Amino acid sequence: MGQREELLTGAKRCLVEKGYAHTTARDIVAATGAHLGSIGYHFGSKDALLNAAVLETFDAWGDAIAAALVAEPGGAPLDRLRRFLDGVLEMAHEQRAVLVASVQAYAQAEFAPEVRGQLAAAYADSRRDLAALVLDVAPTEVSADQARRLGSLALALINGVMLQWLLDPGAAPTADDLVRAVEGLAAGG
């Protein structure tokens, strides 16, 4: 592993252990054994390094979500959504550090256009992939309107339940709670 990769690994570790706002350049070099000047050489600044680390962490969270996308095919759309949300909630315990670091990416998006752009692109892909899961079709068969409506709903459910789970795992809704709520709304209450 080269020094650039070591700095990224150290920055990701610091994100998990200290958070974005509390990580200093000295923390990162202490975690890697690199020289302080190597951050500027490879990334230009500590913030640019942390942004790169946040984006890699967000990619790792996206990969974990994608792993849950391999829900069993078949069944009604809400059954597929339920199985997928169950998978996301099951993996939350093992992916907690990645999830926490990914949540930090949202706050950074306001101040770092490259973070905002990558997150927006990841969300566009996620909307399409999630709509495909719910509809049980290939992502290429999902219309822009289906991605916007169905994919956005599934993404909102994932983000919302994960934030609730991070704050209070015992009080967070289950996949069944969420799907039953959607069914109740569809049935008029």
Q: What predicted TM-score, i.e. pTM, was given to this entire model?
A: 0.76
**Which residues 6+ apart lie within 8 Å of 42 measured at CB?**
3, 4, 7, 49
pLDDT in tens, 120-168: 888 898 899 889 888 889 999 999 999 999 999 989 998 899 999 999 9
* 139 belongs to a structural domain: yes
Q: What span, in angstroms and rounded, lies between the C-alpha atoms of 77 and 61?
A: 24
DSSP 8-state code for residue 174? P
Q: Residue 96, class by beta-carbon neighbours within 10 Å (0-12 exposed, 13-18 middle, 19+ buried)?
A: middle
Q: Is residue 32 part of a domain?
A: no
- What are the pLDDT digits (tens) for 27-78? 999 999 898 999 999 999 998 898 888 878 777 777 777 676 665 667 788 8
Q: Is residue 27 part of a domain?
A: no
Q: Is residue 17 part of a domain?
A: no
Give the three-class secondary structure for 32: helix
Asked if residue 7 is part of any domain, the answer here is no
Q: What local confidence, expressed as pLDDT, does residue 161 receive?
A: 93
In a domain, 161, yes or no: yes
Task: State which residues form the domain around 84.
Answer: 52-186
- Identify whether 4 is part of a domain: no
Q: What's 66's domain CATH number?
A: 1.10.357.10
Give the count of domains, the chain: 1
Residue 15 falls inside a structural domain? no
